[in-house]
Amino acid sequence: MSVPILLPAIGEIFTQRSGILNLGLEGVILMGALGGFVGTYYSGSLWVGVMLAVAFGMLFSVIMAVLSVTIRANQVIAGLALTILGAGLSTFLFRIIFGIKKLPPSIEPFQAIKIPVLSEIPILGPVLFQHNILVYLTFVLVIVSAIVLEKTTFGLKVRAVGEHPQAADSKGINVYLIRYICVIIGGAFAGLGGAFLSIGYMNTFLDQMSAGRGFIAVAVVIFARWNPYRALGGAFVFGLASALQLRLQAVGVPIPHQFLLALPYILTILVLISVSKKAEFPKAFTLPYNRGER
Amino acid sequence: MKKSIWVLIALVIMMGALTVGCGQDNAPTGSENEGKFKVALLLPGKIDDVSFNQAMYEGMKAVEEEMADEIEVKYVEEVYEVADIEPALRDFASEDYDLIFGHGFQFMEPIIKVATEFPDVKFALGTGYKTLPNTCVYDINLQEGGYLMGTIAGMMTETNKLGVVGGADVAEIYRGHEAYKYAAKQVNPDVKIQELYTGDWRDVAKAKEGAISMYDSGVDIIWHSGDGIGLGVVDAGKEKGKTVLGNVADQNVLAPDAVLSGVVYNFSPVIKNIIDDVLDDNFTNREEKFYWLTVANEGIDVAPFYEQDDQVPQEVKDKLTEVKKDLADGNVEMPHFEK
């Protein structure tokens, strides 16, 4: 269950590296979940659903890009507005598209693929190698993202824009364009994360099904200090804590379940406190760029 | 910079207006049918959630049709956040609604507050414990529902491992879970029961994850105590080919092979009861402010087995009939589960 946290987190790494904080991930995930479901429902193809989810995520995050880059609005407020809008709009569109039904519309989700040989390994096998294709895709995307950010000119431009937009601009890098692209990349990833929820893990769209995972993703990004591999670790730890607390509850450990439920979040806070001192935010983080200002 | 701040504020307000608009697209407008008894029903979720909200909606619809000449009902969905509840209640109270239903535990504090401000308006709270002269509580005696499910699960299990999954640990759910465990042990002393709460009513993915981990550890029957998270449990049962017992609405339609049976709520008798009491001027003066859905008043029933009917031994069916009768007559002895 780390995937719907990891995917938005990877996208958010791009966004934040370019100097933009997108707190609206929660809303983008919900729009992606809706897009994924609608696409699959009407086309009958899960991949059309995935594409529509990514498209919904990108389109929806354009709002964030306009607000934060062009209008230079306060990014915290704009992000929260996006979260609220996404939650309301996805529910609203779902009702408009499907109407009131006695039976919730559903689809056949992605099936788990067992990788031969590797999935037979005891303990590790079922944990790592018996998942649906989106999970494997996520692992690939982690590696690709790390390479793009660290080894390509585009990655260098992104980091330059996040660290010192004036300098980047003077070298002929289009700061606005890079930031737009990064926010939209973030939207694509978050949309894919939403698709994982609605057509990868569940078989339908439900209101608020992201249940706070967008915010955890933002925490994971800071924990990972903007590195996709560490984000993989962070999301995995959170997923593990979440699975562990469910198991502990079920076997009847004599700890109040309210505490167990809070465990993954307490863990997140503790980890954040301990690593936040080491975290070096991009220099131009949350600072809007204005060519006219010096 | 100044200008951009104003643009942003304008946008935020617009977005706010938009989302609020979504939640309240049935907001009260002037009534065309003057003189009728005006009822408002505020639901925390959607009327097609195959659960708590749908059951209440259908119950109210049935009463509305039956009493079409006397009452008119307004429905509002998705009043989930406590911050939205109070203004919504106040809207209806100031629009001269006679009776307002708040369908959920989170309505309790707002109802108590608004009911003090509008002493002439009557309020009905769906589950909770606080009351005023002009409010009442309607609640599900889930103890009886849990007892019925525990009886089925305890007799039907092959692995002697059962599970129960709930949303938040509130009074009604707690009683249901305890009675489920109690009844299962009555019919099958060897049974082991795993229990977990997701802590909210909406995180389906978490509920599914928890249910799958239960099935993987050998559990073969899980009862879930309802709401959105229940869909996650049903989905887990479907995926793992194991048995699920539903709650609130008849959930067989969701996964006919996995859902064996379930508790079914019928709110109509209780709604009718409340409305009649208000109309007969027998509401504010009564001492008993709790209206219970029970087996006796047909507020609680057991869903049919449908195509799995032939897999259920006659012995189980007989026992179920017997337990139902005993519950209705008040002949079942079980402890009073209270925290």
ipTM of the complex: 0.83
CA–CA distance, A166 with A175 (Å, rounded to integer): 9
Residue A38: the pLDDT is: 95
Percent of chain A residues past pLDDT 90, beyond the cut: 53
The tokens of B160 are what? 């002697």
Chain segment A72-100, per-residue pLDDT in tens? 989 999 999 999 999 999 999 998 898 87
Give the closest-approach CA distance of B168 to chain A in angstroms: 9
Burial readout A171-186 (b: 16 or more C-beta within 10 A, e: otherwise): eebebeebbbbbbbbb
In a domain, A83, yes or no: yes
Place of tokens 């009649």: B276
User: If you average pLDDT over every residue of chain A, what do you get?
Assistant: 89
CB atoms within 10 A of CB A9: 35
Closest CA to B52 of B97, B86, B91, B102: B102
A246 Cβ under 8 Å from any chain B Cβ: yes
A201 → closest Cβ in B49, B195, B205: B205
Mean pLDDT of A37-41: 94
Chain B residues within an 8 Å CB radius of A36: none
DSSP codes joined into one string, B87-139: HHHHHHHHTT-SEEEE-SGGGHHHHHHHHHH-TTSEEEEES-S---TTEEEEE
Q: In this predicted structure, what is the pLDDT of residue B83?
A: 86
pLDDT at residue number B277: 87
What are B291's strand-pairing partners? B138
Does B19 sit within 8 Å of A89, measured CB to CB? yes
Beta-carbon separation of B231 and A247 below 8 A: no
Residue A133, CA atoms < 13 Å, CB-side half-sphere: 7
Please list every residue in chain B whose beta carbon sits closer than 8 Å to the beta carbon of residue A247: 213
Q: How far is CA A70 from the centre of its chain?
A: 23
Residue A151 lies in a domain: yes
CB contact under 8 A, B22 and A246: no
Residue range of the domain that includes A61 = 3-105+127-276
A250 or B188, which is more confident?
A: B188
Pairing label, strands B290-293, B300-302? unpaired
Q: Given CB atoms, is A166 within the 8 Å cutoff of chain B?
A: no
Inside any domain, residue A122: no
Fold match between B29-140+267-293 and B142-264+305-329?
yes
pLDDT of residue A80: 93
**pLDDT, tens only, A206-228:** 888 888 899 999 989 988 889 99
pLDDT of residue B15: 63
Q: Is A292 part of any domain?
A: no
Which amino acid appears at position A60 of this protein?
F
Instruction: Using the predicted structure, report yes or no on whether residue A124 has a pLDDT greater than 70.
Output: no
Domain positions in chain B are: 29-140+267-293, 142-264+305-329
Determine, yes or no, domain membership for A110: no
The series of mean pLDDT values per 10 residues for chain B, 339 residues long, is 65 62 46 73 87 89 89 90 89 91 90 90 88 89 91 93 90 89 93 91 89 92 87 92 90 89 91 88 83 89 88 89 89 79
Residue A168 sits in a domain whose CATH number is 1.10.3470
Give dist(CA A76, CA A65) in Å, integer: 13
CA B256 distance to own-chain centroid: 22
CA distance B223 to chain A (A): 13
Which residues of chain A does B167 touch, with a Cβ-Cβ cutoff of 8 Å? none
Q: Are B245 and B224 in contact (CB under 8 A)?
A: yes
The top-scoring range by mean pLDDT among A123-127, A139-143, B335-339 is A139-143
Nearest CB to A261 within list B197, B217, B254 = B197
Asked if the B142-264+305-329 domain carries CATH number 1.10.287.3610, the reply is no
Per-residue pLDDT, B29? 46
Please name the residues between 169 and 208 in chain A that touch chain B, using a CB distance below 8 Å: 197, 201-204, 206-208
From A134-148, A260-274, B125-139, B221-235, the region with the lowest mean pLDDT: A260-274
The CATH T-level fold of domain B29-140+267-293 is Rossmann fold (3.40.50)
Pairing of strands B71-76, B37-42: parallel
Distance from CA of A105 to the nearest CA of B (A): 10
Maximal CA-CA distance, chain A: 63
How many domains does one find in chain A?
Answer: 1
Task: Give the pLDDT of residue B30.
Answer: 45
For residue A85, list chain B residues with Cβ-Cβ distance below 8 A: 15, 18-19
Has residue A15 been placed in a domain? yes
E-strand spans in chain B? 37-42, 71-76, 99-102, 122-126, 135-140, 161-166, 192-197, 221-224, 243-246, 259-265, 290-293, 300-302
**Helix or strand (DSSP H, E) at A14:** helix A3-17
**Cβ within 8 Å of A, B 216-275:** 217, 228, 231-232, 235, 253-254
Q: Return the higher-pLDDT residue of A32 and A117.
A: A32
Asked whether the beta carbons of residue A257 and residue B253 sit closer than 8 angstroms, the reply is no
Helix (H, G, I), strand (E, B) or coil at B261: strand
- Residues B299 and A149: their CA atoms lie apart, in Å, by 60
Structure confidence at residue A93 (pLDDT) = 93
